Amino acid sequence: MPTSRARKIIIDTDPGQDDAIAILAALGRPDALDVLAITTVGGNVPLERTTENALMMVELANRTEVPVHAGCAEPADRALVTAEYVHGPTGINGADRPTPTTAVAESHAVDAIIETLETADDEGVTLCVLGPLTNIGAVLERRPDLTPKIAELVLMGGGHFEGGNVTPSAEFNIYVDPTAAATVFASGVPLVMMPLDVTHKALTSPERIAAFRALGTEAGASAAGMLDFFERFDIDRYGSTGGPLHDPCVIAYLLEPEIFSGRHCNVEVETQSELTMGATVIDWWGATDRAANCLVMNDLDADRFYALLVDAIARL
Ligand code: RIB
Ligand code: CA
């Protein structure tokens, strides 16, 4: 169970194999992370499936005391775009887990996040955002007064030197809900961003996947099975040697921030042009006088990253 010195976090997510690995890693480290809630959003697959997948992961981690709240099924101002072509029809193909029996929590994710922030102590709560920012944008729109209770918001999303992965200029999480993303980047909340520029350096490999399987546990086998399925899309698309393990970068940053490196930049989101909709305009070279609003990561120690994830999942 979480220790008193553990950092209080909420994981907002659209599982997705990479989300699932991030959830397992977070639940494997109650010494460092107190997961107050998992909140789901429509993204990689529709909300019903992302919610079932999150329930599957808390059961696999034997941490069913962590509530899973279902959130927004789609953005407020556009239709949902999903990514079954990457993640498979279930969203976590390869997990090979039984249908969960744990009930989803009653309150909507947005209400749950608001209530958690309202009652948080002065240290606040860290938001770990692994999917489209629809839920978080709704929280900030409804209750901007609660931003002081957000200790930090660490998100996977966007891209700069790496461009996009759903259009030439936009990464999936931002592309699905650019309006919500723009609200987050304009909020003044302390932001840490894990764009494709860093996640594309966190590639799976046969050896790295084998390390999960070698744990000899159900969680290790499920993690390896998900990664075997997940990596094929990026290998085919980019000709890379493995798949980028995007979302666990968020959890790894909370556990060992020194694994990552980057710089404070101004980041804004394109919400008008259809051609570049959802692009994150990262002023990496300080070409404008726009104030820095985000710590943008662009590199990591990939070996330490994978060792951290295997160790966390080994503890489940
Ligand atoms: O572009 C990668 C991101 O989109 C990851 O969070 C993945 O899970 C999908 O949500
Ligand atoms: Ca995700």
Q: What is the pLDDT of residues 198-242, one digit of tens each?
A: 999 999 999 999 999 999 999 999 999 999 999 888 888 888 899
> 150: which strand partners?
125
Candidate of 17, 19, 155 to mutate for ligand 1, largest count of ligand atoms within 8 Å of Cβ: 19
Query: Which stretches of the chain score pLDDT less than 70?
Result: none
pLDDT of residue 3: 75
Say what the pLDDT of residue 238 is: 83
| Pocket lining: 14 vs ligand 1, CB cutoff 6 Å | yes
pLDDT averaged over every residue in the chain = 97
Per-domain boundaries in the chain: 7-314
- Percent helix, strand, coil in the chain, to 5, is 40, 15, 45
Virtual CA dihedral for 299, 303, 308, 313, nearest 10 degrees?
120
Q: How far is the CA of 242 from the centre of ligand 1 (A)?
A: 15
Which atom number of ligand 1 is nearest to the Cα of residue 18? 8
> Is residue 134 within 6 Å of ligand 1 at its C-beta?
no
Q: Is the CB of 44 under 6 A from ligand 1?
A: yes
Q: How far apart are CA 302 and CA 250, in angstroms?
A: 14
Ligand 1 atom, smallest distance to 246 CA: 5
- Is the CB of 131 within 6 Å of ligand 1? yes
Instruction: Give 156-189 pLDDT, tens digit per residue.
Output: 999 999 999 999 999 999 999 999 999 999 999 9
Overall pTM > 0.95: yes
Ligand nearest to the CA of 81: 1
- Ligand 1 binding pocket includes 87 (Cβ within 6 Å): no
Looking at domain 7-314, what is its CATH homologous superfamily? Ribonucleoside hydrolase-like (3.90.245.10)
What pLDDT is stored for residue 5 in this prediction? 87
Residue 315: closest CA among 248, 247, 245, 220:
220
- The alpha carbon torsion through 72, 46, 52, 129 (nearest 10 deg) reads -50
Q: Give the residue from 314, 91, 289 showing the smallest Cα distance to 218.
A: 314
Q: Let me know: does 69 contact 39? Beta carbons within 8 Å.
A: yes
In DSSP terms, which residues pair with 280 in a beta bridge? 269
CB 37 within 8 A of CB 62: no
Query: How far apart (Å, rounded) are the C-alpha atoms in residues 72 and 92?
Result: 19
Q: Give the separation between CA 221 and CA 299, rounded to whole angstroms.
A: 28
Please identify every residue annotated as catalytic.
246
Determine which residue's CA is closest to atom 1 belonging to ligand 1: 172
Q: Please give the DSSP secondary-structure letter assigned to residue 186.
A: T
